[in-house]
Structure formats: structure tokens, C-alpha cells
């Protein structure tokens, strides 16, 4: 069983990593959330990106 302090630190680490990745991606010119969503949609329709538990 994971202690609550360890779980909180893990959550903070994941949130910080996501913020850092988002900040770095924001530096790429022309990259917009709609472009990323379109790429994710294309990958999902080609079954290259699993978005659900269905196989």
C-alpha cells in the first residue's frame, strides 16, 4: 500500500511534468491544440493510438 504522502508527491510530479511538457510544446510555432487534436483523431481512426480499453 502506498502512503498518502508518496501518492501526493507522485501526483505533484506528474502535474509538474505535464506542465513542463506543455510549456515546451507551447514554444513550437504553429502548434495549436486543434492541430494536436486532429493528429490524435487521425491516429485513433487508424487504430495507431488506443483511446479506449477496447482492443
Domain positions in the chain: 4-45
Long-range contacts of 21-25 (CB under 8 A, 24+ apart): none
Better pLDDT: 49 or 38: 38
pLDDT at residue 16 in the model: 95
Confidence band, pLDDT 50/70/90 cuts, at residue 20: very high
Query: Tens of pLDDT along 2-19?
Result: 788 898 999 999 999 999
Where does 1-55 have alpha helices with state H? 4-26, 33-45
Is 31:25 a contact under the CB 8 Å cutoff? yes
Q: What's the mean pLDDT in 19-43?
A: 85
pLDDT at residue 13 in the model: 94
pTM of the model: 0.52
Amino acid at each position: 500500500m502506498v502512503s498518502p504522502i508518496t501518492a501526493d508527491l507522485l501526483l505533484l510530479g506528474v502535474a509538474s511534468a505535464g506542465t513542463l511538457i506543455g510549456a515546451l510544446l507551447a514554444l513550437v510555432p504553429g502548434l495549436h491544440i486543434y492541430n494536436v487534436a486532429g493528429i490524435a483523431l487521425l491516429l485513433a481512426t487508424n487504430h495507431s493510438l488506443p483511446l479506449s480499453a477496447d482492443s
